[in-house]
Structure 1
Amino acid sequence: MGKQREVWQHELQSAKDPVWAILNVAETNIQDIKLSVYHLQRSNGTEFTCKENDFYMLKMDDVYQMYLAFQEIPGTRDKIMQNGFDALKRFMIRQIKFFASHDLQMALETNMPKTNLTRPKLYGQELEDFPEYYIFDSPVTLIYLNHNGEKRMLFIDEINKYCDGTLKIVKEKLQPIREAFKEKQQKYADATDAELKEAHRVDNILQAIQKQLDRRNSLRNYEHALNLRKHYFKAQE
């Protein structure tokens, strides 16, 4: 990816206002391949254009909002508009299949028949030697307490193997720990290197958990919108 596209992708990913409307859909040819081109508007009134091969650069929620915006277009779609809508649906289905094959929870929810995913490792000798919510550096691993109050291990590089319930438990326990770090830093403004490092670890784990939960919720929205899911799972906050 070129530098210019990297900058543009960062702008798309960091945009806080969702896609609000599809102003126009056109077509272009790139090396004899016909692609749909979308002129979009965000809720704050800003406009931008992207091609169907740029979908991967958008936030997953923006893709979902594009789908909803298509539903709001009045009248019958012409051929170019319909081609653009079909391209969007194909991308959403590919995303569902890809992430379901790389995420144990989504594989189970979508009844994927074949997956190479194994269940996460939950145990290790460290469970007896370290307290709950102790964080190891390499690989980044957290000792947590499950809903039965039993010590278990969460490996961040295998976060795709842990269910929403586990991630939510860990998130709820880590948030007050992070807030305590912040309050101490604001009060004393002279946190030790060890404390700063620990706070950074907690932040990274919380970000990884939230990213995983958000991705799963977006995939569920995709499936629900495309009528691929009989039961709608409420988002995990």
Structure 2
Amino acid sequence: MERLGIESYQIKINLTAPTLIFPGIKVRDPYSIVDKPTTGLIYLNSKNEKRIMNLVDIAKFCDATLERVLKEVKLKIFETEFLKKAPLLDELDLDIMKSYEREINKRPRHFEQMRRWDSFSNRRPILPTMRRQ
């Protein structure tokens, strides 16, 4: 390209994975709210490593992880509201936990609605899900 008098510049693209941890995450309890650097929920992944889940990134997680996190979030809310067991969450953390619970509960319903819309628009019958009995 240099012969024609046109210079080409190669654009560098950052292909690194997003940061899911931060310094000091080791001392935090799992399934607690962290507000720095961004508001998020500390959860344990399948390898029992602490990671952060942001509220806007819930759609990127697999269903098994979300079910595990939802179970623990419901337990934390129940312990705080009804059993009054330590560690108690303050009002802001409790509201954030409830918002995580709502958003995680929305995801399977949204997936089911998209599946139904796809079958309607493509005129394909919805196949029953295979369940073990």
Task: Specify the TM-score bucket, using the shorter chain as the normaliser.
Answer: 0.5 to 0.7
Instruction: Note if contact 1:140-1:157 (Cα within 8 Å) is conserved in structure 2.
Output: no
Deviation larger for 219-228 or 157-166 = 219-228
Pick from 198, 208, 227 the counterpart of residue 103 of structure 2. Answer: 208
Return the alpha-carbon distance in structure 2 between the equivalents of residues 195 and 157 of structure 1: 22
Distance 1:136 1:233, change over 3 A: farther
Number of paired residues? 110
Distance 1:206 1:177, change over 3 A: same
Distance 1:228 1:170, change over 3 A: farther
Taking the TM superposition and a 5 Å limit, the aligned residue runs for 1:84-233 are 121-137=19-35, 139-184=38-83, 195-224=90-119, 226=122
- Give, in angstroms, the shift of residue 195 of structure 1: 2.2
Deviation larger for 175-184 or 119-128 = 119-128
Distance 1:148 1:230, change over 3 A: farther
Aligned to 2:90, what secondary structure does the other structure show?
Answer: helix
Identity of aligned residues (%): 22
Instruction: Note if contact 1:122-1:153 (Cα within 8 Å) is conserved in structure 2.
Output: yes
Return the alpha-carbon distance in structure 2 between the equivalents of residues 229 and 222 of structure 1: 11
Question: Quick one: which amino acid aligns to residue 33 of structure 2?
Answer: I
RMSD of aligned residue pairs (Cα, Å): 3.1
- Give, in angstroms, the shift of residue 183 of structure 1: 0.5
Instruction: Note if contact 1:133-1:142 (Cα within 8 Å) is conserved in structure 2.
Output: yes
Q: Which runs of 4+ in 1 moved over 6 A?
A: 229-232
Per-residue deviation, residues 176-217 of structure 1 (Å, max 9, x unmatched): 1111122146xxxxxx9x622222121111111112232122
Q: Which has the higher helix share?
A: 1
Distance 1:221 1:230, change over 3 A: closer
Aligned to 2:107, what secondary structure does the other structure show?
Answer: helix
Q: What stretches of structure 2 of length at least 5 have no aligned partner?
A: 1-15
Aligned to 1:147, what secondary structure does the other structure show?
Answer: coil
Question: Quick one: which amino acid aligns to residue 118 of structure 2?
Answer: E
Instruction: Note if contact 2:116-2:126 (Cα within 8 Å) is conserved in structure 1.
Output: no
Distance 1:120 1:221, change over 3 A: farther
Instruction: Note if contact 1:120-1:158 (Cα within 8 Å) is conserved in structure 2.
Output: no
Distance 1:198 1:211, change over 3 A: same
Return the alpha-carbon distance in structure 2 between the equivalents of residues 135 and 168 of structure 1: 18
Return the alpha-carbon distance in structure 2 between the equivalents of residues 140 and 231 of structure 1: 40
Alignment TM-score, normalising by the size of structure 1: 0.39
Q: What stretches of structure 1 of length at least 5 have no aligned partner?
A: 1-117, 186-191
Distance 1:224 1:172, change over 3 A: farther
Return the alpha-carbon distance in structure 2 between the equivalents of residues 121 and 218 of structure 1: 31
Return the alpha-carbon distance in structure 1 between the equivalents of residues 21 and 125 of structure 2: 34
Alignment TM-score, normalising by the size of structure 2: 0.64
